Amino acid sequence: MLIQKSNDIKSAVITPKEFYLNRRQFMLSASAAALATGAALSGLDWTGGTPEVLAGEKLGNVKKSSFSTAEKQNSFKDITSYNNFYELGTDKEDPATNARYLTTRPWTVSVEGEVRKPKTYDIDALVKLSPLEERVYRMRCVEAWSMVIPWLGFPLSSLIKLAEPTGNAKFIQFVTLLDPKRMPGQKLPIMEWPYVEGLRMDEAMHPLTILSVGLYGEILPAQNGAPIRLVVPWKYGFKSIKSIVKIRFVEKQPPASWNRMQPQEYGFYSNVNPEVDHPRWTQATERRIGEFLRRKTLKFNGYGDQVAQLYSGMDLKKFY
């Protein structure tokens, strides 16, 4: 079993607080003028001030989680400068550059569909919905790179129980914000917007599935999916939808953006599986960001002891 308690993590493997705070202040001072010029040239609305991504606001009353791995965490720099978030740009560096456009207050998340208690939550109320935990998870991208990230969040099941799903609720669909001014990547016709994703109900209720509102002890940076995102660590990263505004409980399997656009490459389930290659590259190995050598990919990203029973009897090559 590969999951270990987070209190086993040695402090020496965590990036020092002063290092990434100094770096963030340097980035703000050095790049503000250039970014303002770029915003004017691109027609984007940037009013200056301190971008939320650099605010460094701490999240209090966070407890360690027994679900965490003791593997070495990636640095704050790794996690916030190398991202897949097409709403903020298609290159890995684009989300960090364009993060300042994604303002996250005010923000609401509506819970709707096959539930007895639909409700629209203000983001600050939602953050206080359940005690926050630090969950240090391995995260694996379908492009065969990976990181270890100290997420802050709460189990999705907490919200599900409050909503009281009806017997017709078999799946949950998640919807990202649609706002090209705040998400400049949505001006490009590279996919159908808004981004949508989905989980089967038992996947959503699993204790490893969380809604994250922070990382490294602080409020979630915009390029990482602020103000609230899904984290499902045994699936490829694109399943962990960012900047959520709607959570719908539905009877039938909902559409998912990449599966809808390229179903031959991206399955609905998208469990990490070294035995099922992407049509254009192998999934048998991966490169941990910050490391030179590749490592073997673990089935279910190493969380098989916890989640394999969810797929008992399923052909994982067919339901990939």
Q: What is the pLDDT of residue 43?
A: 38
| Domain annotation covers residue 280 | no
User: Average of pLDDT values for 48-76?
Assistant: 78
| Domain annotation covers residue 71 | yes
| Domain annotation covers residue 309 | no
Q: Which residues pair with 218 in a beta bridge?
A: 58, 215
- Say if residues 223 and 79 touch (Cβ distance below 8 Å): no
Least confident of 9-13, 93-97, 130-134, 292-296: 9-13
Comparison of pLDDT for 4 and 313, the residue scoring more: 313
Comparison of pLDDT for 47 and 255, the residue scoring more: 255
| Domain annotation covers residue 278 | no
| Domain annotation covers residue 1 | no
d(CA 90, CA 42): 16
Pull the structure tokens for residue 255. Answer: 């559409």
| Residue 143: CATH number of its domain | 3.90.420.10
Least confident of 22-36, 95-109, 204-218, 290-304: 22-36
Q: What is the pLDDT of residue 4?
A: 41
Q: Which residues pair with 173 in a beta bridge?
A: 198, 248
Q: What is the pLDDT of residue 45?
A: 36
Q: What is the pLDDT of residue 61?
A: 86
pTM of the predicted protein model: 0.84
N-to-C CA span, the chain:
23
Spatial CA neighbour of 60 closest among 153, 132, 154, 120 = 132
- Per-residue 3-state assignment (H helix, E strand, C coil) for the chain: CCCCCHHHCCHHHCCCHHHHHHHHHHHHHHHHHHHHHHHHHHCCCCCCCCCHHHCCCECCCEEECCCCCCCCCCCHHHHHHCCCCHHHCCCCCHHHHHHHHCCCCCCEEEEEECECCCEEEEHHHHHCCCCEEEEEEEEECCCCEEEEEEEEEEEHHHHHHHHCECCCCCEEEEEECCCCCCCHHHHCCCCCCCCEEEEEHHHHHCCCCEEEEEECCEECCHHHCCCCEEECCCEEHHHCCCCEEEEEEECCCCCCHHHHHCCCCCCCCCECCCCCCECCECCCEEEECCCCCCEECCHHHHCHHHHHHHHCCCCCCCCC
Domain, as residue range, for 74: 6-253
Q: Which residues contact 164 (CB under 8 A, 6 or more apart)?
A: 115, 116, 117
Q: What is the pLDDT of residue 22?
A: 38
| Domain annotation covers residue 272 | no
Residue 9 has pLDDT above 90, yes or no: no
How many independent structural domains does the chain possess? 1
Q: What is the pLDDT of residue 138?
A: 98
Q: What is the pLDDT of residue 254?
A: 98
CA 27 to chain CA centroid, Å, is 23
Return the amino acid letter for 268.
F
d(CA 215, CA 79): 9
Q: How far is CA 216 from CA 40, 87, 152, 212, 239, in A?
A: 32, 23, 8, 11, 21
User: Average of pLDDT values for 51-58?
Assistant: 58
Residue 253 has pLDDT above 70, yes or no: yes
User: Average of pLDDT values for 19-25?
Assistant: 37
Q: 60 pLDDT band (50/70/90 cuts)? A: confident
User: Average of pLDDT values for 64-82?
Assistant: 97
Q: What is the pLDDT of residue 225?
A: 98
State the chain's mean pLDDT as an integer.
87
The share of the chain scoring above pLDDT 90, in percent, equals 82
pLDDT tens, residue by residue, 183-218? 999 999 999 999 999 999 999 999 999 999 999 999
With 0-12 / 13-18 / 19 or more C-beta atoms within 10 angstroms meaning exposed / middle / buried, residue 187 is: middle
pLDDT tens, residue by residue, 74-109? 999 999 999 999 999 999 999 999 999 999 999 999
| Domain annotation covers residue 302 | no
With 0-12 / 13-18 / 19 or more C-beta atoms within 10 angstroms meaning exposed / middle / buried, residue 11 is: exposed
Q: What is the pLDDT of residue 160?
A: 98
User: Average of pLDDT values for 117-143?
Assistant: 96
Q: What is the pLDDT of residue 310?
A: 98
CA 253 to chain CA centroid, Å, is 21
| Domain annotation covers residue 135 | yes
User: Average of pLDDT values for 56-83?
Assistant: 94
